[in-house]
């Protein structure tokens, strides 16, 4: 079981999975998550009032690639904030797991939230199989503009470029204003 989750999180670069197209309206959602171990409610439309949102989907907390990606986002969160963006990680994990993950792997620097099967389908990020009876997302990062539209998509199971590409996209949004 743990090996399946690890395999889902550490796959190397693969052809692009499905993802919402640039310009599409980002599906709004309300869900529970955690920041620095504290449970909180996340409502996308409220987050967008503050500026663009980097919404990154990851397969499962506490697995190799997902740990590395969370660490990389945590290291860059000040750069995202300076560019006016909020970072939110999403997975099918339950809230207690995400509370621990937000403290241990995200260093308390950003929110991680629980994505239900409907949200995974709405964002077209299903990995195509279930793990432990739940729909697992692939690794897709979206930059959602303040207008609620998809401005950028990075869809790759390899976590290596998600932070750099989404940060560049957020910075690009600032220069287009």
Instruction: Supply the pLDDT for residue 174.
Output: 78
In order of start, what are the domains of the chain with their CATH numbers?
Answer: 2-10+22-176 (3.40.30.10)
Residue 109 DSSP SS3: coil
Give pLDDT, residue 18: 61
Say what the pTM is.
Answer: 0.87
Q: What is the pLDDT of residue 54?
A: 98
Q: How many C-beta atoms surround the C-beta of residue 82 within 10 A? A: 12
What is the rounded distance in angstroms from the CA atom of residue 33 to the CA atom of residue 176?
Answer: 32
Contact 101, 70 (CB under 8 A): yes
pLDDT of the residue at 12: 31
Burial of 31 (0-12, 13-18, 19+ CB in 10 A): middle
pLDDT tens, position by position, for the chain (177 residues)?
333 333 333 333 333 446 899 999 999 999 999 999 999 999 999 999 999 999 999 999 999 999 999 999 999 999 999 999 999 999 999 999 999 999 999 999 999 999 999 999 999 998 776 666 666 889 999 999 999 999 999 999 899 999 999 999 999 997 765
């Amino acid at each position: 079981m743990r090996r399946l989750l690890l395999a889902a999180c550490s796959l190397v670069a693969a052809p692009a999975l499905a993802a919402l197209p640039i310009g599409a309206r980002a599906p709004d959602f309300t869900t529970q998550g955690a920041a620095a171990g504290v449970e909180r409610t996340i409502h996308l439309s409220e987050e967008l009032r503050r500026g663009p949102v980097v919404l990154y989907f990851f397969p499962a907390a506490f697995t190799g690639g997902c740990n590395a990606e969370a660490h990389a986002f945590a290291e860059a969160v000040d750069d995202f904030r300076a560019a006016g963006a909020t970072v939110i990680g999403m997975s099918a994990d339950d809230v207690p797991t995400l509370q621990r993950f937000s403290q241990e792997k995200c260093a308390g620097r950003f929110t991680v939230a629980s994505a239900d099967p409907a949200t995974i389908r709405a964002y077209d990020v299903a990995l195509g199989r279930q793990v432990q009876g739940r729909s697992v997302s692939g690794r897709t990062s979206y930059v959602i503009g303040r207008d609620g539209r998809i401005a950028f998509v990075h869809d790759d199971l390899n976590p290596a470029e998600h932070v750099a590409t989404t940060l560049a996209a957020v910075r690009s949004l600032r220069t287009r204003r």
